[in-house]
Amino acid sequence: MRVLGIDPGLTRCGLGVVEGSIGRPLGLVDVGVVRTPSAWSVPERLVFIEKGIEARLDEHAPDAVAIERIFARSDVSTIMGTAQAAGIAMVCAARRGLPVALHTPSEVKAAVSGNGRADKAQVGAMVTRILRLDAMPKPADAADALALAITHIWRGGSQARIEAALAAAGRKAR
């Protein structure tokens, strides 16, 4: 399975592609960050982010897209920009018929480090170890995008099977 992980942000949008399956070593396919200047208007920034996501989708043809689920912080402007970038990512994936999964930051931290309250350095160190990289991906948005892709490979497949079984039984997942 090949997954594009997206750590949405208006200034820095992390994009990481990981390939592998449960029980087998995972491999880094690509990692980077789409950066937009704060002087640009929000619509210009969103178009630029969309182009960066579309380029990764074209180049790497992932099987799924994993996006960080937005959670409330104290700074409303940060939440809005992050939510807008996440929406663009969902549209890009949906346009291609790709499954989209939203993973919370604590879920991702727990999946890659074993601790849902791990800090950025711990997540980056574990991503480096899991993917057998020579150096930690920088900035943290890049490492977070890879962590999202890893989480989806490890957890997303089983969640999709549970939802499919519930749908077949005529029930909804909680």
Spatial contact of 173 and 42, defined as CB atoms under 8 Å apart: no
pLDDT band at residue 90 using 50, 70 and 90 as cut-offs: very high
**What is the per-residue pLDDT across 93-137, written as a single tens digit (0 to 9) for each?**
999 999 999 999 999 999 999 999 999 999 999 999 999 999 999
Q: Is the pLDDT of residue 43 over 80?
A: yes
d(CA 17, CA 114): 21
For residue 68, say whether it is annotated as part of any ligand binding site. Answer: yes
User: What pLDDT band is residue 167 in, cutting at 50, 70 and 90?
Assistant: confident
pLDDT at res. 169? 85
For domain 2-168, the question of CATH label 3.40.640.10 is answered with no
Q: Domain map of the chain by residue range?
A: 2-168
